Copies of this chain bind each other. A is one copy, B any other.
Amino acid sequence: MSWQLGPEDLPALALGATLLGTGGGGDPHIGRLLVEQAMREHGPVTILDPDDLDDDLLIIPTAQMGAPTVVLERIPAGPEPLAALRRLEDHRGRRAAATMPIECGGINSMIPLLVGATGGLPVVDADGMGRAFPELQMETFSVYGVPGSPLAIADELGHTVLIDTGEDNRQLEWLARGVTIRLGGVAYIAEYAMTGRQVKDTAVPRTLSLALSVGRAILDARRDHRDPFAALADAFSRTIYTHIRELFHGKVVDVERRTTEGFARGRARIRSADGDGELEISFQNENLVAIRDEIQLAVVPDLICILEEETAEPITTERLRYGDRVRVIGVSTPALMRTPEALAVFGPRCFGLDREFVPVEDGPGGEIAGTADARMEEWEQTPVR
């Protein structure tokens, strides 16, 4: 079943995608403005359900690559991601039937919509991370056998780079990151070209729908003066992100952040309102681990989201600052992201953390008041329309 995504959907999508971005994935405001402008000119974008894809369609995901700290100051001109897609199409000698996100995030859920609007392409309702991760090999596509190569990079001057590292997605990340750094810290890419069959076998399904429903739940609750955190927990309970936990509530008392080797790296300290205890969160573009008094509350690939304490507005790592009053929530990732193969690609050790993965629902985090864990453990989730 395909459906149309229009400008009226963008506020909810940007909000939900940024929350799923778990600190990274780019700024929601910039991403939303880009797509709004494109949709005003070209109309709404057709969204394809992954189950409806013919097996032999060519799907080429598109994305922004770089440090979110840089993107705040270096906004895309607009044509770059479509230029990257075209470059890869030219190399393969075949046009893509659709594009798709590689991750959820304020920018990277939007970039494929920009490509869809300006290039006249539908966008597949799925992605390769089910959240955001900082590196290109950290894709369910990669985990389940799709090579990221060849990868095309484009910048705002029309310059292009095409990288082919065969099956080696880690080397692909290494070289593409090097080029991105030399392009000023941000670039636009097309990669992980795959068939419709491969999308169905390897992608996290319906994450645009998920972002929309999460965003709408928060916006509706705010409008109706209900608790947005309860609404959020309720929205997740109808998805494959089964468990949601409140990890901490307090005030940001320190943010250490540096842009290095093409990433925004650092840590934040949050002190509880009653002065009782402190949470430390480490990040590499995205939040990686939440630790309270030496106890690990949540760790990648589970989601660690820092939300404004009243509105549940997600705060990205590059915007986080001293004095922010926040609630930190942990969300369980879908089953296909917790397999041994998946944890070997984006588990804690892949980020240099000497830690084991412990599911957030097995940790000491509490349930959000007035909610209960989802009972629906099965794989499918309902499309939003």
Contacts and interface: CB of A to CB of B under 8 A. Distances in A.
Given A182-B175, A182-B178, A161 B162 contact: yes
A160 interface: yes
Contacts of A174: 182
Interface in A364-380: none
A52 interface: no
A171 B160 CA distance: 11
A179 interface: yes
Contacts of A182: 174-175, 177-178
A166 interface: yes
A381 interface: no
Nearest to A158: B166
A159 interface: yes
A161 B171 CA distance: 12
Contacts of A161: 161-164, 175, 179
Interface string A141-162: 0000000000000000111111
A177 B160 CA distance: 15
A165 interface: yes
Contact of A168 (B159, B178, B183): B159
A155 B241 CA distance: 42
Contacts of A168: 157, 159
Interface string A19-57: 000000000000000000000000000000000000000
Nearest to A162: B162
A164 B159 contact: yes
A158 B166 CA distance: 8
A157 B159 CA distance: 26
A181 interface: yes
Contacts of A181: 178
Contacts of A160: 163-164
Contacts of A177: 182
Interface of A: 157-166, 168, 171, 174-175, 177-179, 181-183
Given A160-B164, A161-B161, 14 more contacts: A158-B166, A159-B164, A159-B165, A159-B166, A159-B168, A161-B162, A161-B163, A161-B175, A161-B179, A162-B162, A162-B163, A177-B182, A178-B179, A178-B181
25 contacts: A157-B165, A157-B166, A157-B168, A159-B163, A159-B165, A159-B166, A159-B168, A159-B171, A159-B175, A160-B164, A161-B161, A161-B162, A161-B163, A161-B164, A161-B175, A162-B162, A162-B163, A174-B182, A175-B179, A177-B182, A178-B178, A178-B179, A178-B181, A178-B182, A179-B179
